[in-house]
């Protein structure tokens, strides 16, 4: 990669710029006195008229001094100052002209200096030629690169990933889907196992599900489990403004995949390129349809693509072309639904790894609260909870952080700084208390109220968060009516307490009206209209559904409106009746909300059990103190743990330093010992040689090896006695010689 960057560095451009700057500077310097330059004819005319006093030449240039000049002759002759100059072009011409004036005595000639052209002046024409050639090469390379990019339009934009670390264990909440995909993994690992039995593995698998359910992660897990290359691309990457580019990219993608078989191709949002053909306005064959045709051919046409499994994901399977879904192409569709309560709990625990959560958090209850949430929603909620804890400088993530994260993701952040009047606060408190009491009092649904708050959030002045304790695949008529009663609970509380209504119930009425209309027009739950479908408010696919809209008569429309109105009015009356029987609970809950602004599930249950507002407020304060104490202990534990880790790290560094010093000292000591031993051995060897020379005796002298010498301190007394004995022997020998 570094070599490619070095090659692509624009050295030629930089060199050209430097040369151009040098030439420009030279040109500016040479033309700095251009205002004193006159023409040759003008100079001759001035000489003939006697205006020129003195001239001098330097190469092809004539410098001159006027008769009435302000410059002195010394400045002209010695300092190089002049009044004008003429460039004759050639030195010979300038010299000839000056000599003719000198002979006639027209002017005084100071000196003539024959100077050749400078090296830069001589090279300037060649530099111009080189610059033109370099510029031409530069332009040609640029055009070639542009043409190369134009030819790269047909290259696919798929990103190839190998050795993916994602496994099925990293995907939670879709156990059935993983079992379905296990066959694809087995085929990619051992295709011979299937081909020997004559089995044909599906070439294409279509993952269908809402956004955020983990379709892309599931495809990566398949490639990771099988250990095969993973090509990922989106449907919009095929489509370009140029005709034929999409089809060329499809061909290039499959050609690349064939070189890496077995492999897996993942096309995300395939509905961008695989929409139903012939549904556009005018029924034209556009670029998208050509791309789709090429994809159909590559998947199950004349082209053989065995060993390539194509997985696509979409959340709009209804708009896909039927040819794309037939057998041999995307003949296996796997619906990746939103996770159930057990799946959500597994996802919570999966994303909770590595985060310091409080021991009091109940993931099972949180999973029940997050009914209808996808894996992406859960990850986002836990991330928001961690951010909230870090923002408050807390060491652990608590249940309240998660609840606040849920509310922040679904409704937006709290607006504590909003200025709200006491009257609005009181109205909001009774409104939200009405919702909470109705939600906990309905017999057909068992919703758990997680949070009630009068703090503005998003567009709401307050909110009541409640969710079913169980996941429902379908709802009965009585359950839908209970949900309408809950929506009307806020308006009912306002009517009971204040005898008036406010605009705060607008979103509740809209939600209740939508449920009532669906009961009448879609679910067939009206006695007057019967089990007839009168059309919902689903999205219309332009070009295919324009002629398939249901027509409803005016009489039927009137009956629908009447029935919807009756359902809403009955629900409001029932909510008022229910709240009148629990007026004391309504007052206590509103009082607590005005005092604490936010209450949770346990607080609602205690108020419904008959506890007074003072008792509930006291318990909320005690719970807050417990949370603070728990956070304090967690912070101290974290500090102690950090200090222990720092101490261990310090000890480890000290041990390493001591080991290094010990090794260094040991080497130095060994070197010193070796040097001292060698010096001692050399000294003893020299002493022996000296003795041998002094005695000159025929007796053999035994010399110890150098390695046998050890470091010792010499004994002065022994040395003196040896010297005396040697002297005595020498004297005795001399006496014998004399005799």
Per-residue burial over 369-399, b if 16 or more Cβ lie within 10 Å, else e, is bbbebbbebbbbbbebbbebbeeeebbbbbb
What is the DSSP pairing of strand 61-66 with strand 52-58? antiparallel
Measure CA of the first residue to CA of the last residue in the chain; give whole Å: 99
What is the DSSP pairing of strand 230-234 with strand 159-161? antiparallel
Q: What residues have CB less than 8 Å from 123, skipping those under 6 apart?
A: none
Gap between the Cα atoms of 433 and 452, Å rounded:
8
What would the two tokens of residue 77 be? 């002759």
Handedness of CA 633, 637, 638, 640 (dihedral sign): positive
Nearest in space to 403 (alpha carbons), one of 343, 364, 451: 451
User: At how many degrees (to 10) do helices 554-580 and 422-441 cross?
Assistant: 100
Q: What residues have CB less than 8 Å from 330, skipping those under 6 apart?
A: 204, 205, 206, 299, 310, 312, 324
Cis peptide, bond prior to residue 410, ω within 30 of zero: no
Maximum CA extent, the chain? 168
Gap between the Cα atoms of 93 and 111, Å rounded:
15
Nearest in space to 240 (alpha carbons), one of 148, 321, 324, 150: 150
Nearest in space to 214 (alpha carbons), one of 297, 137, 313: 313
| Beta strand segments in 457-505, E | 463-468
- Determine whether 478 is an active site residue: no
Gap between the Cα atoms of 144 and 136, Å rounded:
12
Is residue 133 within 8 A of residue 139, CB to CB? The reply is no
The catalytic residue among 54, 289, 384, 432 is: 432
Gap between the Cα atoms of 515 and 481, Å rounded:
8
Q: Which residues pair with 230 in a beta bridge?
A: 161, 264
Q: What residues have CB less than 8 Å from 595, skipping those under 6 apart?
A: 613, 617
Is residue 426 exposed (0-12), middle (13-18) or buried (19+ Cβ within 10 Å)? middle
Helix boundaries (H) for 197-337: 215-226, 245-258, 287-300, 322-325
HSE, side-chain direction, 13 A CA sphere, residue 452: 33
What is the DSSP pairing of strand 230-234 with strand 263-268? parallel
Helix (H) or strand (E) holding 113: strand 108-113
Gap between the Cα atoms of 478 and 264, Å rounded:
49
Q: What residues have CB less than 8 Å from 267, skipping those under 6 apart?
A: 233, 234, 235, 273, 310, 311, 312, 313
Residue bearing tokens 């307050």? 462
What would the two tokens of residue 313 be? 């994901």
User: At how many degrees (to 10) do helices 11-30 and 119-151 cross?
Assistant: 150
Residue positions annotated with a catalytic role: 432
């Amino acid at each position: 990669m570094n070599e490619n960057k070095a090659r692509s560095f624009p050295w030629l451009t930089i060199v050209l710029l430097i040369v151009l700057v040098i030439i420009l500077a030279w040109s500016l310097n040479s033309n700095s006195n251009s205002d004193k330059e006159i023409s040759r004819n003008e100079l001759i005319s001035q000489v003939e008229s006697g205006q020129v006093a003195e001239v001098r030449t330097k190469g092809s240039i004539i410098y001159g001094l006027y008769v009435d000049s302000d410059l002195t002759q010394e400045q002209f002759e010695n300092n190089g100052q002049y009044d004008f100059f003429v460039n004759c072009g050639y030195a010979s011409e300038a010299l000839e002209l000056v000599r003719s004036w000198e002979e006639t005595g027209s002017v005084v000639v100071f000196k003539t200096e024959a100077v050749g052209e400078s090296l830069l002046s001589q090279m300037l024409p060649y530099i111009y030629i080189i610059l033109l050639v370099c510029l031409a090469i530069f332009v040609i390379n640029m055009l070639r690169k542009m043409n190369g990019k134009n030819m790269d339009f047909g290259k696919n934009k798929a990103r190839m990933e190998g050795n993916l670390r994602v496994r099925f264990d990293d995907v939670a909440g879709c156990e059935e889907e993983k079992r379905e995909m296990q066959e694809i993994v087995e085929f990619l690992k051992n295709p011979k196992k299937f081909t020997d039995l004559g089995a044909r593995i599906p070439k294409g698998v279509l993952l269908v599900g809402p956004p955020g359910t983990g379709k892309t992660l599931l495809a990566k897990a398949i490639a990771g489990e099988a250990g095969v290359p993973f090509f990922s691309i989106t449907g919009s990457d095929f489509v370009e403004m140029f005709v034929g580019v999409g089809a060329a990219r499809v061909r290039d993608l499959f050609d690349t995949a064939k070189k890496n078989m077995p492999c897996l191709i993942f096309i995300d949002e395939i509905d961008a390129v695989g929409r139903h053909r012939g549904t556009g306005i005018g029924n034209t064959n556009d670029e998208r349809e050509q791309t789709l045709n090429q994809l159909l051919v590559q998947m199950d046409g004349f082209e053989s693509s065995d060993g390539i499994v194509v997985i696509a994901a979409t959340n709009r399977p209804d708009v896909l072309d039927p040819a794309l879904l037939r057998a041999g192409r995307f003949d296996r569709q796997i619906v990746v639904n939103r996770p159930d309560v057990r799946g959500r709990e597994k996802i919570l625990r999966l994303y909770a790894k590595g985060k310091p959560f409080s021991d009091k958090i109940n993931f099972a209850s949180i999973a029940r609260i997050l009914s209808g949430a996808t894996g992406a929603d859960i990850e986002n909620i836990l991330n928001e909870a961690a951010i909230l804890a870090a923002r408050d400088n807390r060491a652990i993530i608590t249940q309240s952080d998660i609840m606040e994260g849920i509310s922040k993701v679904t409704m937006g952040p709290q607006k504590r700084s909003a200025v709200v009047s006491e009257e609005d606060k009181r109205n909001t408190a009774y409104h939200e208390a009405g919702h909470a009491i109705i939600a906990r009092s309905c017999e057909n649904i068992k919703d758990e109220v997680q949070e009630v708050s009068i703090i503005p959030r998003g567009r709401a002045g307050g909110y009541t968060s409640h969710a079913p304790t169980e996941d429902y695949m379908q709802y009965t008529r009585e359950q839908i009516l209970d949900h309408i009663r809950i929506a009307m609970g806020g308006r009912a509380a306002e009517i009971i307490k204040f005898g008036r209504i406010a605009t705060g119930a607008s979103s509740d009425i809209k939600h209740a009206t939508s449920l009532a209309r669906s009961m009448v027009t879609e679910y067939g739950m009206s006695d007057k209209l019967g089990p007839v479908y009168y059309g919902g408010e689903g999205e219309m696919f332009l070009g295919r559904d324009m002629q398939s809209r249901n027509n409803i008569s005016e009489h039927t429309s009137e009956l629908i409106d009447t029935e919807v109105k009756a359902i809403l009015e009955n629900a409001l009356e029932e909510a008022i009746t229910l709240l009148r029987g629990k007026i004391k609970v309504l007052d206590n809950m509103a009082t607590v909300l005005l005092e604490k602004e936010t209450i949770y599930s346990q607080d609602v249950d205690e108020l419904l059990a008959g506890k007074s507002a003072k008792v509930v407020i006291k318990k909320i304060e005690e719970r807050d103190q417990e949370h603070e104490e728990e956070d304090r202990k967690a912070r101290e534990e974290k500090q102690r743990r950090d200090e222990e880790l720092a101490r261990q790290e310090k000890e480890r560094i000290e041990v390493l330093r001591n080991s290094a010093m010990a090794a260094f000292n040991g080497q130095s000591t060994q070197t010193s010992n070796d040097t001292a031993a060698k010096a001692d051995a050399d000294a003893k060897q020299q002493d022996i040689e000296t003795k041998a020379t002094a005695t000159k005796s025929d007796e053999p002298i035994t010399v110890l090896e150098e390695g046998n010498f050890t470091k010792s301190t010499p004994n002065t007394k022994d040395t003196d006695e040896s010297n005396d004995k040697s002297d005595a022997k020498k004297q005795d020998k001399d006496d014998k010689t004399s005799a």
